[in-house]
Copies of this chain bind each other. A is one copy, B any other.
Amino acid sequence: MQSSSPAGRAGRPRSAAADAAILAATRAALIDLGWSRLTLGDVATRAGVAKTTLYRRWAGKNELVVDAVAELFDELRLPDRGSLAADIEGVVLQFAGILARPEARSGLMAVIAESTRDDALRERIRASIVDRQKRLILAGRARAQARGELPPESDAGEAARTVDLIFDMVAGAVVHRTLVSAEPADEEWVHDFTRVLLSGLAVAGAYPPG
């Protein structure tokens, strides 16, 4: 969002309502049409806005969809459920809930695909979507260390690497389950996933769930 004009700026300010309408229209178009059939002209019509207005605020389809999808992740929270396992399950279920929505499914993967050839777009995704998720991992880890469920970090670099690894494992598994396998990441799946993540594969296979 490059939002409203700077404070000390003369002239007619940009309509904040238009921003909201455009982003909402973009999500609606993603639901109805998906990524490939979504056109900026159609989004403008849905938002009740001229196409030129849309182009004044966003460079193109990629940037617009990133911002529209990013808002979906605003609701992510880290509730304190008492244990690391329960915390993980709670966050993963929230994440899965967002990815279950069609506007997130078709939009997110498409912009990630585009970002493989556009560094600026990747940075935009990182700042507005990925970092927001990673903060939850960091907070959850700190809380688990305070509880004594995880050992305190000895080396800082080592700790950062581990956080990145866990993040890729958690987010990657949910995304793959939802979009590639096209199966719901429901409570049962999340439970099994958390068990493997915390206890490991060999142990998890030996102990029946529950």
Contact = CB atoms under 8 A, between A and B. Distances in A.
Given A165-B192, A165-B196, A200-B200, A105 B116 contact: yes
Copies in the complex: 2
Contacts of A162: 192, 205
A35 interface: yes
A67 to B, nearest CB: 17
Given A34-B114, A34-B116, A168-B173, A202 B199 contact: yes
A181 interface: yes
A96 to B, nearest CB: 12
Nearest to A200: B200
A133 B182 CA distance: 16
Nearest to A193: B165
A109 interface: yes
Contact of A130 (B117, B167, B177, B180): B180
Interface string A159-197: 001101111110111111101111100000100110011
